[in-house]
């Protein structure tokens, strides 16, 4: 017996030592991580304080531009700098970039802007246009803008077109390929896996469920998408052609004409871009550097022309004595709408509703701008947000919706109570429809010899993903979906002063581009974020005000563990090991919104626009 007790005591002793080791390891890891973060922040701060007396603002954007970077974006960026990896995932704040360019316009130390966009991955068209507006203001103030690049992608060239002069490498090109939608379709895969997909929907054009029930795009979806896609491309060509003082035909000839021109030019894409007036000069990097040095002077210490990177160009906050007590609060709804708290890249119904409630209870907030850039998502989460928008309106605080690149389905649902809706001509909105999806796996399990059986008190209790759905449950789901659609069109009808029949004629899940949405009465004005703020001030009768940017803050656990995925820090070499077709599929899956992994509506009802993604 004594030997047994000694053995048990020994087990507890070693167990305690192991627990202590794990605890110390975790604490040491946390301490090192905090230390690295602190050193990184300090280094960035030190770097940001060093700038030449005069020179260029180097707009060397890397990664993508979003309305508001996810809470983990900065930490991911720091982690990549510390351990290596692909830095192209960096997210840049649209409004911070615009604020910096506008501040530089009046900064006597900034003599011009140099757009260096080789690492810029893109943004939606409304975001590009908003930055372009700030660049035009800078240029109209008498300060020059130069665009330099080895080659230009479509998004890069849109911003470059605002420059006074565009440089291109003699071996480079300007790639304007147009716009396309590409979704993955899973019908055959689900059939091979013997997954039963139960679909409940209303809306002829509600194509969000098509990937699960088809292997291709339906004719109705193809027709609807073709309309907004062609308008979106037309808007791009019109804007860029106007910036370059050429016709859209000169900017983008038809394919036969382009091939003929390229053949006559012996395949030289750079000289063809120069001949077609897409760029102003073909120049190597040393030649460009020499010209930039002539314009901005030479920085002997950094061995470059005098410049300040936009990443080292902080805009000072106004002093407290200059602050106005009246505020216009800006609340963001960016990403798919899901139930619960906010997650990176998604709109948490609870989080956004709380932010709107806080703005309602804040006596200094006199008006609210709800910035919507969302394809929609959960009905219950969207309704939670909508009721808070309605409460603001009932409180007498004006609400103006500023639509970004996308404000469809649930993004439009939460916008319905607003006093005023401002959209870009290139915003994708509408998609007024609803659907439900429940996958069951009775056939999949049966194929491997697993079956479900039991007793229940009602057919509703029988509903489980391991068995076929009872017919009565399916009928109830369809009735619930139809009720949800009626609710949706009634909300729109009430807010837009239309009859439900009028709304139904432009609903049915159909996606509209901003200009068509305006013609159909779904939005009030075509404009940008500045126009939305101006309208909010007008409705609140404010002559002076300050902007209160309301953004979610990451929790301690998110900072330490939750948001730094190993995948985001993997070196490029790991991705390069994948065969090219698999890399393309992985890329397409990443581009497809992460909605299907976060379908958490308690009633299985969704207002979501999957077909609104494009590249």
Pick the catalytic residue from 116, 155, 409, 415.
Answer: 409
Phi, psi of 150 (to 5 degrees): -75, -40
Tally of CB atoms within 10 A around 309:
16
Angle between helices 2-48 and 73-83 (to 10 degrees): 100
Q: What angle do CA 432, 435, 439 make, to 5 degrees?
A: 160
Structure tokens that stand for 276 in this block: 């077609």
Structure tokens that stand for 393 in this block: 């309106």
409 an active-site residue? yes
End-to-end CA distance of the chain: 74
Tally of CB atoms within 10 A around 376:
32
Structure tokens that stand for 290 in this block: 């020499």
How would you classify residue 271: left for phi > 0, otherwise alpha for psi between -120 and 50, otherwise beta? alpha
Are 277 and 246 in contact by the 8 Å Cβ rule? The answer is yes
Identify the helix (H) or strand (E) that includes residue 128: helix 125-140
Q: CA–CA distance from 479 to each of 483, 484, 608 (Å)? A: 6, 9, 19
- d(C-alpha 203, C-alpha 431), whole Å: 9
Are 421 and 403 in contact by the 8 Å Cβ rule? The answer is yes
- d(C-alpha 378, C-alpha 338), whole Å: 5
Give the helix ranges, DSSP H, for 424-507.
Answer: 442-447, 471-496, 500-506
Pick the catalytic residue from 105, 206, 397, 498.
Answer: 206
Q: Which of 224, 201, 202, 199 is nearest to 212 (CA)?
A: 199
Are 189 and 272 in contact by the 8 Å Cβ rule? The answer is no
Cβ density class 114-138: b for 16+ within 10 Å, e for less? bbbbeebbbbbbbbbbbbbbbbeeb
Identify the helix (H) or strand (E) that includes residue 525: strand 525-526
Structure tokens that stand for 127 in this block: 């975001």
Question: Which parts of 343-459 are beta strand (E)?
Answer: 346-348, 365-374, 376-378, 399-408, 420-423, 428-430, 434-440
Angle between helices 94-105 and 125-140 (to 10 degrees): 10
- d(C-alpha 520, C-alpha 508), whole Å: 14
Q: CA–CA distance from 502 to each of 201, 492, 499, 577 (Å)? A: 20, 10, 5, 54
Q: CA–CA distance from 299 to each of 105, 110, 115, 404, 495 (Å)? A: 22, 14, 18, 39, 58
Helix, strand, or coil here: 199? strand
Structure tokens that stand for 42 in this block: 């300090």
Q: Which of 347, 369, 350 is nearest to 359 (CA)?
A: 369
- d(C-alpha 429, C-alpha 522), whole Å: 9
CA–chain centroid gap for 31, Å, is: 33
206 an active-site residue? yes
Residue positions annotated with a catalytic role: 206, 409
């Amino acid at each position: 017996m004594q030997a047994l007790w000694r053995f048990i005591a020994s087990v507890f002793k070693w167990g305690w030592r192991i627990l202590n080791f794990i605890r110390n390891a975790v604490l040491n890891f946390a301490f090192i991580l905090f230390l690295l973060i602190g050193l990184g922040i300090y280094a960035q701060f030190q770097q940001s304080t060093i700038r030449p007396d005069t020179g260029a603002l180097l707009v060397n954007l890397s990664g993508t531009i979003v309305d508001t970077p996810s809470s983990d974006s900065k930490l991911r960026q720091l982690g990549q700098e510390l351990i290596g990896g692909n830095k192209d995932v960096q997210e840049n704040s649209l409004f911070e970039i615009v604020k910096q360019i506008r501040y530089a316009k009046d900064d006597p130390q900034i003599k011009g802007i140099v757009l260096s966009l080789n690492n810029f991955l893109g943004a939606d068209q409304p975001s590009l246009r908003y930055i372009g507006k700030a660049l035009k203001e800078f240029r109209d103030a008498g300060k020059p803008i130069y665009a330099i690049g080895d080659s230009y992608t479509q998004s890069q060239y849109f911003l470059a077109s605002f420059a006074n002069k565009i440089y291109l490498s003699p071996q480079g090109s300007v790639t304007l390929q147009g716009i396309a939608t590409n979704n993955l379709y899973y019908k055959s895969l689900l059939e091979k896996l013997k997954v039963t997909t139960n679909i409940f929907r209303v809306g002829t054009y509600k194509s969000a469920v098509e990937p699960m029930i088809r292997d291709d795009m339906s004719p109705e979806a193809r027709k609807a998408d073709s309309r907004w896609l062609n308008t979106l491309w037309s808007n791009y060509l019109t804007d860029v052609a106007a910036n370059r003082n050429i016709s859209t035909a000169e900017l983008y000839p038809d394919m036969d004409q382009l091939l003929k021109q390229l053949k006559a030019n012996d395949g030289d894409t750079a000289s063809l871009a120069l001949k077609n007036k897409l760029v102003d000069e073909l120049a190597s990097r040393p030649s460009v550097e020499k010209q930039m040095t002539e314009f901005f002077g030479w920085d002997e210490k950094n061995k470059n022309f005098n410049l300040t990177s936009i990443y080292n160009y902080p805009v000072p906050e106004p002093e407290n004595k200059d602050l106005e007590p009246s505020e216009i609060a800006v609340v963001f709804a960016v990403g798919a709408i899901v139930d619960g708290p906010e997650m990176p890249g998604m709109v948490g119904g609870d989080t956004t509703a709380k932010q709107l409630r806080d703005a309602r209870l804040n006596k200094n907030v006199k008006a609210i701008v709800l910035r919507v850039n969302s394809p929609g998502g959960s009905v219950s989460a969207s309704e939670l947000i909508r009721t808070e928008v309605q409460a603001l309106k009932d409180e007498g605080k004006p609400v103006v919706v500023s639509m970004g690149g996308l404000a469809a389905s649930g993004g439009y649902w939460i916008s319905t109570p607003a006093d005023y809706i401002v959209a870009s001509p290139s915003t994708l909105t509408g998609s007024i429809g609803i659907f439900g999806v429940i996958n069951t796996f009775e056939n999949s399990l049966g194929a491997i010899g697993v079956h479900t059986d039991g007793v229940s008190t009602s057919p509703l209790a029988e509903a489980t993903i391991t068995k076929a759905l009872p017919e009565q449950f399916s009928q109830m789901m369809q009735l619930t979906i139809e009720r949800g659609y009626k609710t949706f069109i009634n909300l729109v009808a009430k807010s837009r002063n239309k009859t439900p029949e009028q709304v139904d004629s432009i609903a049915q899940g159909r996606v509209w581009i901003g200009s068509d949405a305006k013609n159909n009465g779904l939005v009030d004005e075509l404009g940008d974020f500045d126009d939305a703020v101006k309208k909010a001030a007008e409705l609140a009768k404010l002559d002076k005000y300050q902007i209160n940017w309301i953004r979610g803050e990451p929790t301690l656990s998110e900072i330490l563990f939750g948001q730094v995925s190993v995948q985001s820090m993997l070196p490029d070499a790991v991705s390069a090991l994948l065969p090219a077709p698999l890399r393309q599929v992985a890329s397409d899956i990443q581009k497809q919104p992460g909605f299907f992994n976060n379908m958490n509506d308690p009633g299985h009802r969704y207002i979501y626009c999957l077909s609104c993604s494009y590249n």
